[in-house]
Amino acid sequence: MARLRLRYYAVQNVPLLLSLGLFVAMVILYIILFALKQSRLPGAFELLTTVNNTLSVGLSAIGQTFVVLTGGIDLSVGGIVDVTNSVAARYMGDSPGSIALVSLATLAVGAFAGLTNGLLVVYGRLQPIIVTLATLAIWEGIALLVLPQQGGSIPPALTAILAGTLPFLTWLPNSVIIAVLLVAGWQLLRSTPFLTGVYAIGNDERAARANGISVARAKLGAYTLAGTCAGAAGLYFAAANTSGDATSGTPFTLTSIAAVVLGGVSLFGGRGSAIGSLAGAFILTLLLNVLFFAGVNTQLQEFFQGLFLILAVVASTLVRRSLQRAR
The mean pLDDT value for 310-316 works out to: 79
The mean pLDDT value for 48-69 works out to: 95
Which domains are delineated in the chain? 15-32+43-326 (1.10.3470)
- Cα–Cα distances (Å) from 3 to 9, 57, 79, 321, 322, in that order, read 10, 38, 47, 18, 16
pLDDT digits (tens, 9 = 90+) for 94-148: 889 999 999 999 999 999 999 999 999 999 999 999 999 999 999 999 999 999 9
| CA–CA distance, 134 with 243 (Å, rounded to integer) | 27
Helices 2-38 & 301-326, crossing angle to 10 degrees? 160
Side chain identity at residue 16, one-letter code? L
Residues in CB range of 216: below 8 A, 6 or more apart: 122, 123
Check residue 136 and give its pLDDT: 96
Check residue 199 and give its pLDDT: 94
Residue-wise burial string across 139-148, b where 16 or more C-beta atoms lie within 10 A, e elsewhere: bbebbeebbe
Check residue 2 and give its pLDDT: 46
pLDDT digits (tens, 9 = 90+) for 4-38: 444 444 445 667 788 888 899 999 999 999 999 99
State what percent of residues in the chain have pLDDT above 70.
Answer: 93
Check residue 7 and give its pLDDT: 47
pLDDT digits (tens, 9 = 90+) for 157-206: 999 999 988 888 778 899 999 999 999 999 999 889 999 999 999 999 99
User: Is 327's pLDDT higher than 70?
Assistant: no
Cα dihedral 156→157→160→165 (10° resolution):
140
Residues in CB range of 280: below 8 A, 6 or more apart: 19, 61, 258, 259, 260, 261, 262, 263, 264
CA 77 to chain CA centroid, Å, is: 10
For 175, counting Cβ atoms within 10 Å of its Cβ (0-12 exposed, 13-18 middle, 19+ buried), the class is: buried
Higher-confidence position of 320 and 23:
23
Rg (CA), the chain: 20
The pTM assigned to this predicted structure is 0.91
User: Is 319's pLDDT higher than 80?
Assistant: no
